[in-house]
Amino acid sequence: MTAPPRTAGRPRNAEHSEVARQAALDLLREQGYASISMEAIAERTGIAKQTLYRRWKHKRALILDAFTEQANQLPTLPFTETAEQELLAFARATCRTLTGQCGTTNRALMAEALQSPEFLVEFRERHLIKRRRQLRDILERRQPGLDDPQLETLVDLMLGPIWYRLLVQNAPLDEPFADLLARNLLAALASSAQLT
């Protein structure tokens, strides 16, 4: 009887991965992104630093892994009768999510991404795209028939100003701002519909 082929390398320890991700999140809350290192995570968890580096190439990969698992649990939006109510709920939830530690971590990860084209792709595909898809789903459901360029531009009209305020910190991500974005997007959606 032929033995099954052996796979290269050691299998990943799922329990170690979860412990390391939780430690990264704890350190984010306690010390902030800049203070985290693979050495600190190894010390916190008792996992050998070499083991961490076999699973994640650098700290930003580990932090992104931990952060996206938590942050990508998008809030369930309430069922509403109107597009305005649904867009208001989305905008408020997004701005609320990006205040506090979540916003700080997003800024730090974006700063890392802008220094590394490879990490930028990973950050976009694993994290940023999910909220874009949530908003795009709302727009497609509320206004069928819009093409891809229209949909992507409409998504940018809401998320672009949010990210500008998040990164530049020139003004708060508060409810009045969220409501203004939602109503502006609603007007743009109506305008796009007239052009189709």
Least confident range from 39-53, 63-77, 165-179: namely: 63-77
Give the residue from 58, 55, 54 showing the smallest Cα distance to 38: 58
Tokens 């990490």 -> residue = 119
Do 72-195 and 14-59 have the same topology in CATH? no
Q: Are 154 and 191 in contact (CB under 8 A)?
A: no
Buried b (16+ CB within 10 A) or exposed e, 66-92: bbbeebeeeeebeeeeebbebbbbbbb
Confidence of residue 37 (pLDDT cuts 50, 70, 90): very high
Topology annotation, domain 72-195: Tetracycline Repressor; domain 2 (1.10.357)
- Residue 58, sorted as left (phi over 0), alpha (psi -120 to 50) or beta, turns out to be beta
Is the pLDDT reported for residue 177 higher than 90?
yes
Is the pLDDT reported for residue 8 higher than 70?
no
pLDDT tens, residue by residue, 114-130: 999 999 999 999 999 98
What confidence score (pLDDT) does residue 33 get? 86
What pTM value is reported for the model?
0.82
- Across residues 5-24, what is the average pLDDT? 70
* Range 14-59 classified under CATH 1.10.10.60: yes
How would DSSP label each residue in 127-148?
Answer: IIHHHHHHHHHHHHHHSTT--H
The stretches of 49-82 forming alpha helices (DSSP H) are 49-55, 59-71
pLDDT tens, residue by residue, 138-174: 999 999 999 999 999 999 999 999 999 999 999 999 9
For the chain, the domains span 14-59, 72-195
For 78, the token pair is: 């309430």
